[in-house]
Structure formats: structure tokens, C-alpha cells
Structure 1
Amino acid sequence: MRLGKTAVVLGGSAAGLCTAGALAPHFDQVVVLERDELPAEAEHRRGVPQSKHPHFLLNSGRRAIGALFPGFEDDLIAAGGLHLMPSMDAAYLDGEGWSARKRSSMTMIYSSRILIERVLRDQVRGLANVVIREGAAVSGLTVRGGGTRDGAVTGVDFATSTGDEHVDADFVVDAMGRGSSVGNWLVAAGWPEPEVRTLDAKVTYTSRWYDLPSPAERPGSWWWQHLVIMPTPDKGEHPAEHEFLVNFFPIEGNRVIACMGSWGLEMPRATDAFVESARRVRTPLFAAAMDQCAPTSEVHLTRSTGNKWRRYDHLRTPPQGLVFIGDSICAFNPFYAQGISSASGSALLLREHLSRAERLDAGFFSRFLIAQRKLLSVPWRLAMARDQSYECAVGTEKVPEWRRRIVAAVSGPAFSLIVGAAREDDVVDEHFAKVFNLDESLGDMLRNPRVIAGLVRYRIRTALGRHRVPFGFDPHAEPPATDYSPEGTDSAITSAVAR
């Protein structure tokens, strides 16, 4: 059902492209305004500095994008994306040592952010009623009745190389990211400034791109494609690099992104310092792997990583004709890989609300904000559960020191308990994968009686020294290649994948 003549999307990154797919069935024309000139291939551009770092496409995001653009995943894999099973294809260093390798029901698509966006652009350009205006810098909104009960956004002003332009709009979507000026324009037009919830755990991360050796030239011990090195649980003296979260992240084109990040620590930004820090992380394998590869980039460092939720849903009279998708409404600590999945989930939610709508009145926009709030609360609570434990964290969601100490003391052991139980209990593993992929809240998982029983059983077995799956392999040795999957796992995986 057509709900209007023109919809305008502000921003042509992943959030904006997903939104264009959601709007296309419901408007005669969808105009995407993007400040950058968009590359034809998978290349970096100024408007997406995060593209130089690893990006996980969580399963909830895979499904949302696949619903908006059928065939997206096949196209991403055809373009070079890697379809892997992390529990079998990733060497994972957590706690005291390497985890065991075993099969599970969770798979993931590995690729660079720039490839994800290139495939999305190809999908959007295949929609007959969508136009992408490149080199279009949005400069303001036109409104009527700003701040009143019937106040609405009615158009968009923007500038191009040939001059200033304006487009009337029945529907506008802000997908301009963390730095969006839309909130300021709304305040200037008469709407109250929304409450903003923040928590910045001072996360900094730094990455460098490498070409892998050819398969024939790789060491025989490289059964893995992805390395993950979690911060040490050791509270004694150790190099600062032992506190780093490290990824050796495979992407298309026989390449990897070597990435190190931390909460509240200084990170290397020069090439020599990057290599030196890599040699001091918890396992020598990370630096040894880098030594086998050929660097193809400089070091890229990012500090803009705070969690920020603009609570437009709390406005008494939110503007009609305007919704927010992606970081423009809720931005997350990128460590948790929630951004693209949350944005695509919001875009899919928008399409569902549009498909049920008979008109775009005040009730429609209020209902969507309420539904979006429920969707965003799942990743937000996950981010808070970890970031509130750091003494360096600042923001409105910073908790009192006594509570922070409790969170810090409990969160690490609780996470290790869940990870350990997931190694040995298929039900815990399934629900933990759902939480990781934003398909289930952590609260719902921990209220599940079967999950609680699995955690208790694992704790008892640990006390008795009766583990089914070994763990804690020497971090200074190669991660074990042995497949520790229980008997019957293959058939269970086949059935889960088929579903």
C-alpha cells in the first residue's frame, strides 16, 4: 500500500540503505541523500571511518537484511564473504587458555564493512523507485507547527556542488549516525531537547589490514581462520596488552584485519608501536600470524565509541513525518558488534509498521517509537552489563562505585560460567548464541529454567573436576586442532541449520 509520494533518507550508509529497502514498497519515490561520492567497488570513504575496523554481522542482522533484500547473503558470499562456524573456525583464548574446538549451531558471515555496504548499494540500486543522490550535504529540515501536537517534518534542505536544493517529503528518516544534526534542528524548530542516555567506557581500538599468505604457504598449524584473544582474568602484574581484546579477523580477498582494543588504556597509533604491542599480548600466536602476512595499510585508531541513546520516545509530542534509524538514535560501543544488526532490525521493524498502516498520523509515529524502544533495549542492556563495570566509564548511566564494584566482581565470573557451560550443554550454547546475536535478551536467557539447570550442573561438575570438554590449553602453545564435538553433534547441527 502506498502511503505517500516521497520519502527521504538522510544518509547512505548501512542504516540508510536498509531503510531505503524498507520504504520502497510504500512510497512512490524514495530519495537517499548521501554527503559522500559513493565508490562503485568496496572502498573506504570519509563518511564511514569505522570501515577500517572489523565488523561482525550478527545473525539477527543477517536475517533482517535478508528479509529486506532477499538474496543479500548469497550475494555477499559470492562477492567474497566467508561463511564460517566460529566454534570450529576460530581459535578462542578466554580465561586461562585456549578453548576447545567443537561444532555448534551458530554460523556467521565474515566480511569487511566496505563489502557489506557495496552489496547493499547494489541491492538498493536495483529498486526502481529509489534514487541515491551523492554529494548531497543535508543542511536542514522544513517543518510545520514545530513542537505542537500536530507538528511535523515536511521537507529537507541540502546542498550539492551546483547549489542549494529542497525536496518536499511525506516521510523522513534520519540515518546520519552519531554526528547527526537533526536533533539540533528539531530544538530550533520548537521541539524540546530529548533526554540523552550515555555511557562511555573509554574504549579505544586500533587496526591494520594484511594480506594472508596463500593457502599453500600457510603454516600447517593454521586450522583456524579467526583468532580471538579476550582480556586476561589475572589480577596480578602483567603487561597492559594482556588487558586488550584482540581479533585477527578474516575478510574477503584472502585478507585479515588485525585489531587490538581496550577499555581506558592508551592504544598504539604508529606502525612500530602497533607491532611492538602485538608482541606483548597474551599469546605469541597473534604477532607470529602477523609476521606471516603482508601489511597493506597504516594503523587506524578510533576513540568515538561511547554508548548514546537519544530518547525521542520520551517526547510528549514527537514530530510526525520523522523516524530515526541506526546510530542517529542509539549508538553502541562497537566492541559488541551491535550497530548494523540493530539498524537493520529497526529498518525491518519500520517496514512491518508501514505495511500495517492506513495513514501516517501521530499514532503511527508514537507506536513505532515504542516498538523501537523495545527492540533497542536488548542490545543496550547488554552493553550496559559490561561497560558499567569499568572505573573509567563516564555518562548518565555510570553507576555508584559500590554497585560498579559488584558488577565488576560478578560479571567476569558469570561470563566465564556461561561460556564454560555452553561448551558442554547444547541448550546453554543455543541460548548464549541467541543472546550474542541479539535474538534473545540476557534477562530472558537467565530466567529460563533449563538454562539455569545447565549452569548449576556445569558448576557442580566443575567442582568435582568432571568436565566433558577440556579447556584452558596453554596460551603460549598452538591452539588445539582436535574436534571435541560430542557424538551426534553433526546430525543436530544439520537439523538446526535446516530450520
Structure 2
Amino acid sequence: MRRETAVVLGGSVAGLCAAGVLARHFDRVIVLERDRLPADARHRRGVPQSKHPHFLLNSGRRAIGEIFPGFEEALIAAGGMHLMPSMDAAYCENDGWAPRKSGTMTMVYSSRVLIERVLRDKVRELPAVEIREGATVTGLRSTAAGTPGGRVEGVGYRVGDEEIHLDADLVVDALGRGSSVADWLGADGWSAPPERTLDAKVTYVSRWYDLPPAERRSETWWWKHLVVTPTQDTGDHPDEHEFLSNFFPIEGDRAIVCMGSWGIDMPRETEAFEAAVDRVRATTFGRATRDCTPTSEVHVTRSTGNKWRRYDLLEVPPVGLVCVGDSICAFNPFYAQGMSSAARSALLLDELLRGRETTGLAFCREFLARQKKSLDVPWMLAMARDQAYDFATGTEIVAPLRRKAAARLSWPIFNAINAASREDAYVEGTFAQVFNLDKSLREMALDPRFWFGIARYKLRRRLGRTVVPGGFDERRDPPGIDYTGYTGGAGAPPSTETGRGGDRVGV
């Protein structure tokens, strides 16, 4: 059934995905965006986080592909890279470099600004969608607010000095974690949604670089993506050993060098950033960065707390309003869940609009219930780590014993999963599903086959019967040997032509 007008507040990833599905159900979809949108892939004021690395998880890739057929192909044609992390990335884990090996998970790497540019191109192909730029939303208009028969019926916005009002059959809030929609609802008479929060004091800093020409790179530079996880050493070491560090490849033969931490003051000036890069515990990280040419200043982000506005808990939710992306649930960006969660919510909106004659109270409640189930998956993942810090604040902090258990066990469990994944396809595939939001952490935790695989690997390791080696010396370059199909024994691994690297620790 076609409806007349939908209004989307915000023209970033969440808003564009929402506009894409609304165009299937409404005669007119109006996107209100405060910024003037660039024609190409450039940063803009309304998306400061675009200066940092962004992962588009597999569930998000699929969701966007369903909303905009051909999206992934267009992103790759524009410069995005389709890579297999287990083969194209070098991971420095607790005990050193992980072995390189084929896996089930692939990802498309690009900058956030390129993702948005491709999405804007797709949206502009839809005749029902109109993007109004330079439009600052100023409020909502409701009737009988807070009652079962109440409804959000429109929005007000400003362009220059002109105040404009729009009637709407449905309003979608995609204004991000700083959205004022909850305040506007309260001013109209709706109840404020309860909020769940947890801020683990994450700060991260990024700088953009041009890669050196291929002929000038070391023969051990086989990798595209470089990741260094925080140390678990409890002795004296530089703060930089506590950083989660990424050398993240993007289009145009460039990389974003990003370092972040929980509760540590991060370097904000150029000289301090470059010095910190050299102190990251894997020496390849600093050397590779020094071989590149910087093209930006140091970008800093501290707005990283988890925040979930629980509209689903309201006795009478605001009918005629849907919230997607960070406006409903914002995550610690370390976990790369935001874009994918937004796309999943948009796809859910599409499913519920099909065949319905109204978007009344029953529709609103069903959408919120199903969205809550979808958001539970990434929220649980974010809580599992961020609740481990005694300096975390918010409604979701946990008792000291539980916090200590999370702090003590989270990284060792992560290490055990990664190690077992090298030799157990079921463990590898299950964890990939959880990482990509295709399976919940609870499902993984209750899966006996998954934990059997980890226990079996740990026993085999204790008995010296594991096949694929690990723990290559972090003070040397990551080994480029491909261990795919390696069955052990005295023979060499299947392929040694992809680069040379570090020795194993203690060898």
C-alpha cells in the first residue's frame, strides 16, 4: 500500500538507508540534512567520526545490498577493497603475530566518506526521494501527545531565516547520538524514554596517510590491514602497549592510522602522535607509518559511550515516529557496529511496512519489539567488554566481582577463540557470525560444540599436537606464509611465496 509522505531527519548512513526503504512505500520521501552535501567523498561537519576507520560488517553489507542492489559492486568500483582479513590482515595478538590462513569471513574496506557518497548516489536514483540540504530541524508537531490516540504528525525545520513545517505520515529520526528528538517529544507531552548507558572512557585518535609506492615497500609488507591488540602483560610497559591500534587501508592507496584506549589520555598533537606510533608494541606498526606520507592533522574522538534510548519500554510510545542508527542506540565505536545496526533497522522497517494499511500503535509497538531484539545482539557484545572497567560510568555498570571477572577473562577468551579458530572450522565460523551480528553472544555462549572445539584445541596445544603455529615474535615483521591446508609434519607450509616474516617466540 502506498502512503503519501515520510520525512527522514538526517542524511547520513542511517538516514539514507531509511530513505531507501521508505521510497518503496511512500509517494514522497523528504530527507532533511543540515549540511550541504559534497558531490564526492569528502568530510563534512555533521559526520566528524568519518575521519576514523569504519567497518561495514557482513550483516550490514547484506542489509544495504537488499536496500540498494548493486551497492557493494559500486563501492568496489569507486575504490573499496574486497579482502579476506585472515589472509590480507596481520594480527598481533597477546602472544605475538597470528599465522596467516584462509577463513570464511570477507570484508569491504573503504573510508566512511566513500560509503556515504555511494549511498547518496543510490538514493538520488530514487524518484520518490528528495534531499533538502541546509535544513536544520527545529522540532516535531504532535496531536494528543502521550495518549493511545496520539501521534507525531510533522516536523519543523529552518533554511536560512525561513521556518518551514512539513506534514508527515511517518517521521524517521536519524540525527545520531546527539539527536534532540526525545527533548522535542517531551516538550509536546510525550513521556521520556528510559536510557541505558555505559561509558568506558574510550578515546581514539586517527591520522590519514598516503602509502608509499609498492616498489618502495619492504618485501615483508604483504599485508593490507595491520591490527595490534592491547597487551595483557601486567608489568611495566609504555601506555602505548595498552592501545588497540589499526593501520586501516582505504581507497586511493591510503591508510588511516588509528590508536585508541580505554581510560588513557591519547596523543592529540602531531609530534606526540608520531612518537606514540613508534611505541606501539609491534614495531612493524611504527615503521610502516613512518614509511607513509601524512595528509591530515590528528583527529580525536571522545564521544564513545554506549547509549540506548528505550522507546520500547514506554507504555505509550510516540506513534508516527521511528528512530534508527545512533539516535536509538549508539555504541562504543571500537566495536564497528553502528552502520550495520542502522541498516538492519532500516530493513526491519521495510519488512513491517509491507502490506500494512496503517502505521498506528500496533505497528509502532511491533517495530520497537523487533528492533529491540535486533539491537540486543550488538548491545550485549559492547557490554561484555566495556563493563570490565572500574572507571566506567552509567546505568549498566556491574558489581565488582562481575567486573573483575569480565576484566580477567574477556581478552583470554578472545585469544582462545582466535587460536582454536585456526584449526576448527566450526569455532571460526561461529565467531565470525557473532562478530558480524549474525548470531548473538548468548547463542555462542550456550553452544556446546563451540566450547568443545576450544577445549579440544587447548588440550591439543598442551600435548604439543596443534598443527598451525602461532605466537610469531612481535618485534619482527609479521610472517607472510600461507598456512591454509597445512597439516603439520616436517614439510614446509603449502606456500612460502607471499612474504617472509618474524620467527616464533622462543625459536
Q: Into which bin does the TM-score normalised by the smaller protein fall? A: over 0.9
Indicate the residue corresponding to 1:150 in structure 2: 149
Indicate the residue corresponding to 2:358 in structure 1: 359
The 5 A counterparts of 1:191-210 are: 191-210=190-209
* Pairwise CA distance, 1:465: 2.4
C-alpha distance in structure 1 between counterparts of 2:242 and 2:290, whole Å:
22
* Pairwise CA distance, 1:418: 1.1
C-alpha distance in structure 1 between counterparts of 2:182 and 2:442, whole Å:
32
Residue 285 of structure 1 aligns to a residue whose secondary structure is helix
CA RMSD of aligned residues (A): 1.2
**Partners of 2:210 and 2:253 within 8 A in 1:** yes
C-alpha distance in structure 2 between counterparts of 1:410 and 1:378, whole Å:
20
**Partners of 1:196 and 1:309 within 8 A in 2:** yes
* Pairwise CA distance, 1:487: 5.4
Indicate the residue corresponding to 1:391 in structure 2: 390
Indicate the residue corresponding to 1:55 in structure 2: 54
Indicate the residue corresponding to 2:236 in structure 1: 237
C-alpha distance in structure 2 between counterparts of 1:163 and 1:241, whole Å:
51
Change (3 A) 1:132 1:149: same
C-alpha distance in structure 2 between counterparts of 1:213 and 1:160, whole Å:
45
C-alpha distance in structure 1 between counterparts of 2:390 and 2:97, whole Å:
28
Indicate the residue corresponding to 1:88 in structure 2: 87
Answering whether residue 218 of structure 2 is matched by residue 219 of structure 1, we say yes
**Partners of 2:468 and 2:486 within 8 A in 1:** no
Answering whether residue 41 of structure 2 is matched by residue 42 of structure 1, we say yes
Question: Bigger shift: 456-465 or 62-71?
Answer: 456-465
The letter for the 1-side match of 2:105 is: M
Deviations 1:334-358 (A, max 9, x none): 0000000000000001101111423
Deviations 1:100-125 (A, max 9, x none): 00001111000000000000000000
* Pairwise CA distance, 1:413: 1.6
**Partners of 1:95 and 1:230 within 8 A in 2:** yes
* Pairwise CA distance, 1:435: 0.6
The 5 A counterparts of 1:45-124 are: 45-124=44-123
Indicate the residue corresponding to 2:132 in structure 1: 133
Indicate the residue corresponding to 1:272 in structure 2: 271
C-alpha distance in structure 2 between counterparts of 1:299 and 1:207, whole Å:
6
C-alpha distance in structure 2 between counterparts of 1:465 and 1:239, whole Å:
33
Question: Bigger shift: 370-379 or 385-394?
Answer: 385-394
Indicate the residue corresponding to 2:21 in structure 1: 22
**Partners of 1:32 and 1:130 within 8 A in 2:** yes
C-alpha distance in structure 1 between counterparts of 2:376 and 2:420, whole Å:
26
Indicate the residue corresponding to 1:497 in structure 2: none
Indicate the residue corresponding to 1:281 in structure 2: 280
* Pairwise CA distance, 1:135: 0.2
Identity %: 62
Change (3 A) 1:367 1:230: same
Question: Bigger shift: 407-416 or 472-481?
Answer: 407-416
**Partners of 1:96 and 1:233 within 8 A in 2:** no
Please, what TM-score do these two structures have when normalized by structure 2?
0.95
Indicate the residue corresponding to 2:309 in structure 1: 310
* Pairwise CA distance, 1:359: 1.7
**Partners of 2:467 and 2:486 within 8 A in 1:** no
* Pairwise CA distance, 1:218: 1.7
Gaps of 5+ in 1: 491-499
C-alpha distance in structure 2 between counterparts of 1:415 and 1:314, whole Å:
33
The letter for the 1-side match of 2:164 is: E
Please, what TM-score do these two structures have when normalized by structure 1?
0.97
C-alpha distance in structure 1 between counterparts of 2:46 and 2:55, whole Å:
19
The 5 A counterparts of 1:443-458 are: 443-458=442-457
Residue 394 of structure 1 aligns to a residue whose secondary structure is coil
Answering whether residue 333 of structure 2 is matched by residue 325 of structure 1, we say no
Answering whether residue 176 of structure 2 is matched by residue 182 of structure 1, we say no
* Pairwise CA distance, 1:215: 1.8
C-alpha distance in structure 2 between counterparts of 1:249 and 1:141, whole Å:
40
Indicate the residue corresponding to 1:295 in structure 2: 294
Q: Which structure 1 residue ranges, 4+ long, deviate > 4 Å from structure 2? A: none
Indicate the residue corresponding to 2:335 in structure 1: 336
Deviations 1:429-478 (A, max 9, x none): 00111111111011112222321221121121122122211111000011
Indicate the residue corresponding to 1:463 in structure 2: 462
* Pairwise CA distance, 1:162: 5.0
Indicate the residue corresponding to 1:418 in structure 2: 417
**Partners of 1:198 and 1:308 within 8 A in 2:** yes
Residue 92 of structure 2 aligns to a residue whose secondary structure is strand
C-alpha distance in structure 2 between counterparts of 1:73 and 1:355, whole Å:
25
